[in-house]
Amino acid sequence: MSEDVSKRRLGRGLAALIGEMDQPIPVGDTRPSVNPDRTLPIEFVSRSPKNPRRYFDEAELQDLAGSIRQHGIVQPVVVRTIAGSNRYEIIAGERRWRAAQLAGLVEIPVIIRDVDDRTALELAIVENVQRADLNPLEEALGYDQLIAEHGYTQNDLGEIIGKSRSHVANSLRLLKLPEPVRDMLAEGTLSAGHARALVSTPDPVSLAKVITAKGMSVRDAEKLAQNHIKAQTAPSPAEPRGQKDSDTIALERSLSDRLGLQVSISHKGSGGQMKINYGSLDQLEEICRLLEAR
C-alpha cells in the first residue's frame, strides 16, 4: 500500500476501514448496518503493546462493564490476526475489551481487518484522537512513535488526524518535559496548555507544583513561566537590557504557538533580531520549508 493511499484513507477517519458503526440507520433505510464478522472467545484476544492509550479510568470501566452486562457490546472490537496462531490483536476497542472482561463475558463480537503494523498503529491513533480518548501525553507518544518507526513528518501526521502541523508540533514539545511533569499531565493534574508553558523553563517540576497548588489558569501559568525565565536569564548590572513590552511578548507567544517552536524577539534601534529555537533536524527542515514557500 502506498503512503499517499494510506494518508487519504486515514484522512477520512477510522470509518473508512471499519464502517460507520456509531451511526443509527434511518427508519425505512434498507441498507445493512455494520455487523461483526464473528464472535471470538475473549481469551483469544489480546491488547496491542503499541496501543498509544495507556491509562484507563477504573470507575469508567466499571460503568461500561455494567452497561455491557445489560445490553452486551454494541460496537464490535476491531482486531487483526497474529501470524502463526489462532489469536488476535486489538486495533481499536481495548476499553470495550477490558470492560467485557470485568462484565464476565466469555465471547466478544469482532471485526477482523488484515493490516500491517504501521496501519494498525495509525488506526489506533486516529480512532483515539477522534474520540478524544487519549490524554495529551499519550497523544504525543503516539505521534513520536509514528515519526520514529515509520518516518512520518509533522505535516503527514497533521493530514492523517485532521489537525494543524502546529498542533502536532506542540504535542511533541510535551515530550521534552521531565518525568514528574509528564506524570502530572497523564493523570490530568496539568492540562496540555499548562504543560506547554513549562517546556522552556529551567525548573518545570517546581513550577508545575506551584501551578497545581494554586489552581492557576493557563494564562497565569504562562505569566509565571515567563517571569521565571526572565529571572533566570536577567542580564548583569554591567550589561543592562531593555524590558520587553507586552506587545512583543504577545507576538512571541503567537509565533511560538503557530510554529510549535520557541520564538524570541529583541529590538535594537529601528531593527532587531528574531530567534527560532529548534530541537531536531525535522523541525529545522520544516522552518526551511515554510520560508521557501513564501
Most confident range, picked from 157-161, 225-229, 267-271: 225-229
In the chain, what are the domains? 3-19+34-134 (3.90.1530.30)
> pLDDT averaged over the chain?
78
pTM of the model: 0.55
Percent of the chain with pLDDT over 90: 21
Would you say 60 and 42 are in contact if contact means Cβ atoms under 8 Å apart? no
Quickly count: other Cβ atoms within 10 Å of residue 214's Cβ: 11
Residue 131's pLDDT is 62
Residue 7's pLDDT is 43
107-112 and 77-81: which strand pairing?
parallel
Residue 164's pLDDT is 83
Percent of the chain with pLDDT over 70: 80
DSSP string covering 233-265? SPPPTTS--PPPPHHHHHHHHHHHHHHTSEEEE
Which residue numbers are catalytic?
A: 94
User: pLDDT by residue (tens digit) across 225-248?
Assistant: 888 877 765 554 544 455 677 778
> In terms of Cα–Cα distance, which of 104, 105, 15, 89 is closest to 47?
89
Residue 195's pLDDT is 92
Residue 90's pLDDT is 92
88-92 and 45-46: which strand pairing?
parallel
Q: Quick one: DSSP state of residue 231? A: H
Q: How many whole angstroms separate alpha carbon 157 and alpha carbon 169?
A: 10
Of the pLDDT bands very low, low, confident and very high (cuts 50, 70, 90), residue 216 is very high
User: pLDDT by residue (tens digit) across 48-101?
Assistant: 888 777 778 788 889 889 988 988 888 889 899 998 888 999 988 888 999 999
The residue with greater pLDDT, 230 or 140, is 140
Residue 289's pLDDT is 76
